[in-house]
Structure 1
């Protein structure tokens, strides 16, 4: 019993993070009420100034949980931003929701109303009720996957990311998608997945679409395609969702060992400029102002030490002071700059000035004072 209580004490805080909200939304377009599942980011209430991208998941009755769970997992490790995930339940009505006309193959009847419900009602209400950022992703599977691409055909699409899980493509949809992605003027992420054991008729159309999309030359398009081995129409979902999320937020992830070795250790590259450009790109692409992570600062620090490009510390300590004011991070980088550019006495004083500042990473008062003492001993100050 004691072990059970201990286990519950450990798990209960985690369970509170995973709580899901169930809401109803009344739609004038549909003339009915629709059921939603909503996962808010961890500590949403505490971070009162923070805004979050939105992920709309069709077939929310079975797709919501895998999408929401993976986004929560990736954002916990800072591989993606935290996001608001909204699932629309469509159990038993997905065919009506995704109906298209037989003449022009565009949404019709209930399908047209459902299209307007998402684009004109749901997103507007989410923006009013929650702190949303201007970056949206939509996810669908077979019929609903075909449906999500109708938003791509609008002049100013309301979604920037499209996760297509084995789409059941309407006639002309492949050509329409290709034309839209070839000419898109805003950054767009498009993911497409099938599998070796996918439904043959669907796979034929998906492979044909991939042949068209992989030849598009448009810098605004970020396209990824997966053909999973030994997966079915249903099991591919579990493999595709993480692949799609990773591809859409590649630049958001912390600096990888591969980037460190292949980019930062090249003497022709400015590590500090690389860091600044990485976070500027995150803001431009996703509309998110993100604090530079301590791990990324440490990656740049190690690269400077390896390449002995000491001038890089000038920009780095300014960025560190901006992102982590009151800590020892900027102080340490500034002292290293002075130490390696012929100003040991100034470096010693800067190390000493760290006394009273907040510790961060491996930097604490003892370490900084030891650095100051080492200079004092070496130079006899």
Structure 2
């Protein structure tokens, strides 16, 4: 129902009750269509592009508990081409890593474009190894297909996503094989549009060129020479099986890494992946690419909160936490927040507030609980747990107020845990009515 409400606000929507994952439109000019599968935070719909004069299939993967978040809790967006093979991979891996305290939560927007070669720039074989003659055509779209598709992303889809979801400025573009040429073209022609570019099955693609005499690597260097302090991330990889058959791919990796060494703010990783073919290499490649942007040495926070709890001489858990996430935010260039409520994971506000209560550190538990409520004000459970901390501290009036807020949210959402919130309310009333306790709470 939340998904339906979100789309009801979009003009020119056609709702059609059929069983296909994507709903067919009644009018060719409708911008957005009703999504059937909104389960588990995955939204599927067709987006009509006036620039392309065609419909693009879109899958959106929202972070867990996205709808509980405050308006100022915003997320980076990972735009993924080749949705037919990368949608579930990217959406699933990003969700898994973010729900296991290994990377910041992100929104994944996956596009299953209609005609893959229709979005490639016009490229010659050059040093790609595709042909002995560098003048032979490689990818070759008609009518400036790459620039039209770039306009579709920049002027239509990205503004649409920014308007309807809580996004921040950080954007990543994921591509594979032919669409990697488009991603490289995007980086060369509009380097400010995306902060990171992941290109799978692409160590041959970077050796192609707009002219037979130059490669895309050469063109990228020309772009960066005009922006020597440009900040960004570039990941390029292919299957080692393919590279062994085409030695030019090894030379392209060397050429890329050597050419970009001088650009200190532009982080690059290029590699060949063992034991996987053309498409499966994307699984390992995605993990490696995400590690380039969110290094596990910095972002794997699976034990960080317990470490903070065990070292109170460094400040309260909240103080230590805010400093830690400020460092991460400064590193990546957008605000990274603590995880509010992870399943079976100690690195979440829920888990540590519970442990602080057990240790009798009630003031810290309340401080951390307030942070959780601030991040997820629409979570009845967050209010319930903060109320629990107030009860443990003997602050029954504050507990009653917090419980009341949670109950109102739970009633509005028909929360299945309503009985727990009601039982807590009854317990608080008993505590307040006890003469000795009531006196202490005056």
* Bucket of the pairwise TM-score, normalised by the shorter protein: 0.5 to 0.7
Looking at structure 2, the residues matched to 129 and 203 of structure 1 have their Cα atoms a distance apart, in angstroms, of 46
3-state SS of the aligned residue for 2:187? helix
Q: 2:220 aligns with which of 177, 197, 221?
A: 177
- Against the structure 1 CA distance between its residues 273 and 323, is the aligned structure 2 distance closer, same or farther, given a 3 Å change threshold? closer
Which deviations, in whole Å up to 9, do the C-alpha atoms of 1:314-342 show, x marking residues without a partner? xxxx9999755599xxxxxxxxxxxxxxx
1:40 corresponds to 2:84:
no
- Against the structure 1 CA distance between its residues 273 and 210, is the aligned structure 2 distance closer, same or farther, given a 3 Å change threshold? farther
1:189 corresponds to 2:233:
yes
- Against the structure 1 CA distance between its residues 100 and 281, is the aligned structure 2 distance closer, same or farther, given a 3 Å change threshold? farther
**Residue in 2 aligned with 1:239?**
284
3-state SS of the aligned residue for 1:42? coil
**Residue in 2 aligned with 1:334?**
none
Q: Report 1:129-168 matches (<5 A).
A: 129-154=164-189, 157-167=192-202, 168=205
**Residue in 2 aligned with 1:90?**
113
Residues 326 and 335, structure 2, Cα contact 8 Å, conserved in 1: no
Residues 58 and 111, structure 2, Cα contact 8 Å, conserved in 1: yes
**Residue in 2 aligned with 1:313?**
none
- Against the structure 1 CA distance between its residues 180 and 253, is the aligned structure 2 distance closer, same or farther, given a 3 Å change threshold? farther
Q: Which moved more, 1:180-189 or 1:82-91?
A: 180-189
- Superposition deviation, residue 155 in structure 1: 5.5
**Residue in 2 aligned with 1:64?**
87
- Superposition deviation, residue 279 in structure 1: 2.2
Which deviations, in whole Å up to 9, do the C-alpha atoms of 1:24-51 show, x marking residues without a partner? 2121211222111111111111214221
3-state SS of the aligned residue for 1:232? coil
Looking at structure 2, the residues matched to 326 and 110 of structure 1 have their Cα atoms a distance apart, in angstroms, of 48
Long gaps (5+) in structure 2: 1-36, 125-134, 210-214, 312-317, 341-345, 350-362, 373-391, 399-442
**Residue in 1 aligned with 2:325?**
279
Alignment root-mean-square deviation, CA: 4.2
**Residue in 1 aligned with 2:15?**
none
Looking at structure 1, the residues matched to 365 and 186 of structure 2 have their Cα atoms a distance apart, in angstroms, of 41
Long gaps (5+) in structure 1: 1-14, 266-271, 298-317, 328-353, 359-381
Residues 178 and 212, structure 1, Cα contact 8 Å, conserved in 2: no
3-state SS of the aligned residue for 2:197? strand
Which deviations, in whole Å up to 9, do the C-alpha atoms of 1:1-43 show, x marking residues without a partner? xxxxxxxxxxxxxx98645211121212112221111111111
Looking at structure 1, the residues matched to 247 and 158 of structure 2 have their Cα atoms a distance apart, in angstroms, of 31
- Superposition deviation, residue 355 in structure 1: 3.9
- Against the structure 1 CA distance between its residues 145 and 45, is the aligned structure 2 distance closer, same or farther, given a 3 Å change threshold? same
1:291 corresponds to 2:335:
no
Which deviations, in whole Å up to 9, do the C-alpha atoms of 1:110-136 show, x marking residues without a partner? 222112111221111111111111110
Q: Which moved more, 1:318-327 or 1:145-154?
A: 318-327
Between the two proteins, the alignment pairs up a number of residues equal to 294
- Against the structure 1 CA distance between its residues 21 and 54, is the aligned structure 2 distance closer, same or farther, given a 3 Å change threshold? same
Which deviations, in whole Å up to 9, do the C-alpha atoms of 1:43-88 show, x marking residues without a partner? 1112142211111111111111111110010010121111111111
Q: Report 1:1-381 matches (<5 A).
A: 18-49=40-71, 50-90=73-113, 93-100=115-122, 108-154=143-189, 157-167=192-202, 168-169=205-206, 170-171=208-209, 172-180=215-223, 183-198=227-242, 204-205=248-249, 207-214=251-258, 216-250=261-295, 251-254=298-301, 278-284=324-330, 285-291=332-338, 295=347, 355-356=393-394
**Residue in 1 aligned with 2:378?**
none
Q: TM-score, normalised by structure 1?
A: 0.64
